[in-house]
Amino acid sequence: MSKTACAGAGSLSVSACRFWIIPASTWSEILWQSPPRGGKPALQTAKGDAVVTNSHPIRIAPSILAADFANFGAECRAAEDAGADWIHVDVMDGHFVPNLTFGPAMCKALRPHIRGTMDVHLMIAPVDPYIQAFADAGADVLTAHVEAGPHIHRTLQAIRAAGVKAGVALNPGTPASAAQPLLDMVDLICVMTVNPGFGGQSFIASQLQTIRDVKAMIGDRPIHIEVDGGVDTKTAPDVARAGADVLVAGSAVFRGGSVEAPDAYGANIVAIRAAAESARGEMA
């Protein structure tokens, strides 16, 4: 799949623009490296010093599991317009987790409605037979569970070979050390802060130590630390202090709003981001 663009084309005619083809892999790199919509390129303290807890700015990734299921395209557009950095899509198979949600056809249908990063979390087993389909559907990040088996290293190789950023997720009950042999294979480690399967669950506070362990383990590698489950304005400070930089939030983003009244989405995103950034600032 490739996307066309005329970025910076200025006075070029429409016909000339046809030749500006940017491969999907390049788009993915541009999106990955770009600063978050609502944030600054690099976080600084009031004194202007860089915050060293995590070199990545805070990114908010609304989970569409909490969106209106009859209106996903519009919900993705509304979430991005409200300041979302990434859109998080939870793929569940009713086997690895006790719920059924979306497949590659859904991701393909959503792709034109998402300007930025489509962050696809695969809660499925087996994973490998579906990687190419999700890559073809336009996923920018594909995250597989270390517990899904049978060969997580091979799975991550396959994700990267498909030209997509690779993530590995850790369930509550799985230690950070499970990702240690995979550090050269991943762009993102997702620490589940609920048991996977459903939105709206309570945050599992003991997972803060797993986030800290992941943070210590990755050192200065440019790996994103994502947290998923029960993230809101109350828990965002703790996950940010522990070292997370990508905050997946479903209920806390979509509550109180709709595509017809999306102001609440913007207020919710601003509040979660502010809570996380302020906690980081206090650590500096």
Ligand X SMILES: O=C(CO)[C@H](O)[C@H](O)COP(=O)(O)O
Catalytic center residues: 90, 228
CB of 108 to ligand X, least distance (A): 20
CB of 33 to ligand X, least distance (A): 24
CB of 124 to ligand X, least distance (A): 12
Q: Which of 36, 250 has the CB closer to ligand X?
A: 250
- Nearest residue to ligand X by CB is 250
Rounded Cα gap, residues 77 and 113, in angstroms: 6
CB of 1 to ligand X, least distance (A): 25
Q: Which of 102, 130 has the CB closer to ligand X?
A: 102
Binding site for substrate: what residues are annotated?
Answer: 63, 121, 197-200, 228-230, 250-251
Binding site: what residues are annotated?
Answer: 63, 88, 90, 121, 197-200, 228-230, 250-251
Q: Which of 51, 168 has the CB closer to ligand X?
A: 168
Q: What is the 3-class SS of the chain, one letter each residue?
A: CEEECCCCCCCCCHHHHCCCEEEHHHHHHHHHHCCCCCCCCCCECCCCCECCCCCCCCEEEEEHHHCCCCCHHHHHHHHHHCCCCEEEEEEEECCCCCCECCCHHHHHHHHHHCCCEEEEEEECCCCHHHHHHHHHCCCCEEEEECCCCCCHHHHHHHHHHCCCEEEEEECCCCCHHHHHHHHHHCCEEEEECCCCCCCCCCCCCCHHHHHHHHHHHHCCCCCEEEEECCCCCCCHHHHHHHCCCEEEECHHHHCCCCCCCCHHHHHHHHHHHHHHHHHHHHHC
Q: Which of 218, 249 has the CB closer to ligand X?
A: 249
List b or e across 6-30, with b for residues whose CB sees 16 or more CB atoms inside 10 angstroms. eeeeeeeeeeeeeeeeeebeebbee
CB of 197 to ligand X, least distance (A): 5
The contact set with ligand X (CB under 6 A) reads: 63, 65-66, 88, 90, 121, 194, 196-201, 228-231, 248-252
Binding site for a divalent metal cation: what residues are annotated?
Answer: 88, 90, 121, 228
Q: Are strands 21-23 and 2-4 parallel, antiparallel or unpaired?
A: antiparallel
